Amino acid sequence: MGNLIFVSGQLPIDPATGVLVEGLVEQTKQSISNVKAVLEAAGSSLDKVLKTTVFIRDMRDFAKVNEIYSQYFTDKAPARSCFAVAGLPKDALVEIECIAYK
């Protein structure tokens, strides 16, 4: 397990301001950007992600989230689970976590 990186759920918070970004598209992009930053800090990258878990507040948003998600995971998409949840911290619309290798 020493070569695995476990990235806890990343909310769509802009790290420069500490503020939750607005809108589903921007929140999805920011959550993925935050995952990417954590991975890069740990010596990994999005192309080394093995599994993601995506939490969304409304399953009707899945198609839009999937559209944005597929822009970041283009070549070999990792395994993914997606769950609709009753609520997320800070009233976010999306949160993403992952497991990657170095």
Catalytic annotation, residues: 82
Query: pLDDT digits over 54-99, tens only?
Result: 999 999 999 999 999 999 998 888 999 999 999 999 999 999 999 9
Measure the CA–CA gap between 33 and 75, rounded to whole angstroms.
Answer: 17
CA distance 15 to 58: 25
Please state the φ and ψ torsions of residue 36, each to the nearest 5 degrees.
Answer: -60, -45
pTM of the model: 0.94
In this predicted model, what pLDDT tens digit does every residue of 4-42 receive, in sequence order? 999 999 999 999 999 999 999 999 999 999 999 999 999
Structural domain spans, the chain: 4-101
Tell me the residue type at 92.
Answer: A
Whether 95 contacts 88, CB under 8 Å: yes
Which of the following CATH numbers is that of domain 4-101: 2.60.40.1180, 1.10.260.30, 3.30.1330.40, 3.40.50.2300? 3.30.1330.40
CA-CA distance, 31 to 7, in Å (whole number)?
11
Residue among 12, 102, 30, 24 at smallest CA distance from 72: 30
**What are the tokens at 87?**
């609520």
Q: Residue 66: what pLDDT?
A: 95
Q: Residue 1's pLDDT is what?
A: 62
